[in-house]
Amino acid sequence: MKLLMAYLKMHHKSLLLILSASLIFCAVFALYGLPLTAVGYASLLSLCVAAVWAGIDFLHFFRKHKLLLSLTREIQFGLGGLPPAQTLMEQDYQQLLTALYQYTAQLATNCDRFQTEMMNYCTMWAHQIKTPIAAMHILLQADDSENCAALQDSLFKIEEYVQMVLSYSRLSSDTTDFVLKHYELDNIVRQAIHKYAPLFIRRKIHLHFTPTGFSVLTDEKWLLFVIEQILSNSMKYTHAGGSVDIYLENGVTLVIADTGIGIAPEDLPRIGQKGFTGYNGRTDKKSTGLGLYLCRRTLDKLSHTFAITSAVGQGTKVKIGLNSRNMRFE
């Protein structure tokens, strides 16, 4: 019915013209006093011819409508399947669509090229910056000045940012170097703890880890990256004397809980969105909003879940569901 109404609306001018001509035809017959039988017979023949013509035309209209709908679902493959233009107006519309499609395709090509160049540059920069970072580590190991600890903390942050750039570029690429196997969760967590242990000690934050004895199907490097990002956030927003607890909940959920400043309720729904820093990030002035965004994307690719509960002034709990679905492993 909707399609029929659309057809009638498209041809309403023609229908009005036919109706007007019919009325004039009947009026002339009446003025000349011609028999009504002849008028009725002529009108019936005209109506039958018009009905057949309208039916055939509606069938063409219906087929063209279905074809255009199918082309809409396959627009990414081009405009080659457009039906032949039957009028000058249809030809003009098709030329307009072709020009618009070509312009859009060129924009997409330029955008892809620019993004690829930027990703290649960021990856190259991240790898090249590792050399001066390694040199600074060596120099700081031989430095026993009072500023050495602060310099080491700053260098550690630089390494984190470099790792974040590399992870962002890899996650944004078409292929990601996932190696899915069963790993001991405790070994992955201990690697993250070992990396951040000096900072926990210097900042006087207590760390409690309850061994899980859990074997998880995941990618070790990427899950380690997520745990490191969460530990970094916990340490950033936990004051001296506070604590961070790591344990397994319900047998499949890794929990990292801190006693930090917490997250405002209005910020919780947007945590993990790209570039969102929330109230804490605006206060800190140094947050990028990329850390938890990368965590969420990574866990999604690993088929793990990610959830945060928090209360202002009481701390934050990050829960990583380690169930894996629809994944093949070595």
pLDDT tens for each residue of the chain, 330 residues long: 777 777 667 777 777 777 777 777 777 777 777 676 766 777 778 778 878 887 888 788 788 778 877 877 777 777 777 778 877 877 888 888 888 888 888 998 888 888 788 877 887 887 788 788 888 878 887 777 777 878 888 888 888 888 888 887 777 666 667 888 999 999 999 999 999 998 898 889 999 999 999 999 999 999 999 999 999 989 888 999 999 999 999 999 999 999 999 988 888 888 878 767 666 655 554 566 688 888 999 999 899 999 999 988 899 999 999 986 555 444
The token duo for 48 is 């039958």
pLDDT at 211: 94
pLDDT at 248: 95
Q: Which amino acid is at 240?
A: A
List residues bridging with 305 in a β-sheet.
321
pTM passes above 0.95? no
CA distance 99 to 195: 56
pLDDT at 330: 45
Radius of gyration over every alpha carbon of the chain, rounded to an integer in angstroms = 35
pLDDT at 68: 79
CATH 3.10.20.30 fits 181-321, yes or no: no
- Residue 231 CB contacts under 8 Å (≥ 6 apart), including other chains: 192, 193, 196, 244, 256
CA distance 104 to 94: 15
- Residue 180 CB contacts under 8 Å (≥ 6 apart), including other chains: 217, 218, 219, 302, 327, 328, 329, 330
CA distance 209 to 45: 92
Which has the closest alpha carbon to 322: 258, 248, 257, 269? Answer: 248
CA distance 100 to 106: 10
> CA-CA distances (angstroms) from residue 95 to 82, 99, 102?
11, 6, 11
Which has the closest alpha carbon to 270: 281, 256, 260? Answer: 281
The C-alpha angle with vertex 311 and arms to 313 and 228, in degrees rounded to 5, equals 90
Residue environment code for 280-303, b if the CB has 16+ CB neighbours within 10 A, otherwise e: bbeeeeebebbbbbbbbbbbeebb
Find the farthest-apart pair of alpha carbons in the chain and give their distance in angstroms, rounded: 122
pLDDT at 288: 64
What DSSP character marks residue 275?
T
pLDDT at 279: 61
The token duo for 296 is 């969420």
Strands 253-258 and 315-321: antiparallel
The answer to whether the CB of 26 falls within 8 A of the CB of 42 is no
Which has the closest alpha carbon to 215: 322, 328, 134? Answer: 322
Q: Give the containing element (helix H, strand E) for 123.
A: helix 88-141
Strands 305-311 and 315-321: antiparallel
